[in-house]
Amino acid sequence: LFRSRHVYVYVHAGSMVKTTLNVKKKLMLSPLSCMENAYGGAAMKFSAVFFDRDGTVIVDKHYLKDPSGVELIPHAAKALAFLARQGSDAFLVSNQSGVGRGFFNVRDVERCQTRLQRLLMEQGAGFKDYRFCPHAPEEHCNCRKPAIGMWESLRQAHRLEASLCAMIGDKREDLLFGINARFAVCVLVLTGKGMSALQSMGIDAGSVGSGLTPICPQSIACDPAAVTQLYAARSIDQAVEGIAAL
């Protein structure tokens, strides 16, 4: 299931059915704080940065249902506020298989997203738009990462160019999502499941320093001429600041 400003798009086995809903505008795009850029420098060359949710922006609490459990990862709001000041848009793409598994429903995901957006807005940050996939893996949909259904929906809605986009997440699937979408850059953060993901790809977490560290996972073909460049960063703020410096 995708979410746009006024439309839910259900995707199942490649078929799409749109249902227009009455969505309150105040829960959508609200102006972000125009805070002074404490870091200085020119605007980023990336027009959009995509983020995973659990383990990247908020603490991964395993099938989160209650919005009161939404807890920002340290420096997440600072990173997103910095991104906004650079003139780049932030988008959220999240696999929420708990819906398909029956652990919670679509409304629970929406309530958690509203809570997350409010927490971010309190600190001059926020997402321009978001999508989530509600399907269990065995449903073989085209929106669950690393498939790119969520990217295609946001690309069409906001006229995005993959070559001007970056992805930040804590799982191997997040890297593959960015590669499949042909983003310019993907960054694996070591929060959430990032540490174990890095180790499963044959990379020593100790090799990741401050800022961005180039990586070449054993389980992902690394072509020197590949479109997508892969990096690791210790935290979301280091990932965003590193992307801004590229």
* Annotated catalytic residue within 54, 89, 174, 237: 54
52 a catalytic residue: yes
237 a catalytic residue: no
Token pair in block for residue 71 = 């807890």
Token pair in block for residue 201 = 């790809």
Whole-angstrom distance, CA of residue 2 vs CA of residue 129: 10
Write a three-state SS string for the chain.
CEECCCEEEEEECCEEEEEECCCCHHHCCCCCCCCCCCCCCCCCCCCEEEECCECCCECCCCCCCCHHHCCECCCHHHHHHHHHHCCCEEEEEEECHHHHCCCCCHHHHHHHHHHHHHHHHCCCCCCCEEEEECCCHHHCCCCCCCCCHHHHHHHHHHCCCHHHEEEEECCHHHHHHHHHHCCCEEEEECCCCHHHHHHHCCCCHHHCCCCCEECCCCCCCCCCCCCCEEEEECCHHHHHHHHHHC
Query: Of 91, 87, 92, whose CA–CA distance to 109 is shortest?
Result: 92
Query: CB neighbours of 203 closer than 8 A, spacing ≥ 6?
Result: 215, 217, 218, 232
- Could you list the active site residues? 52, 54
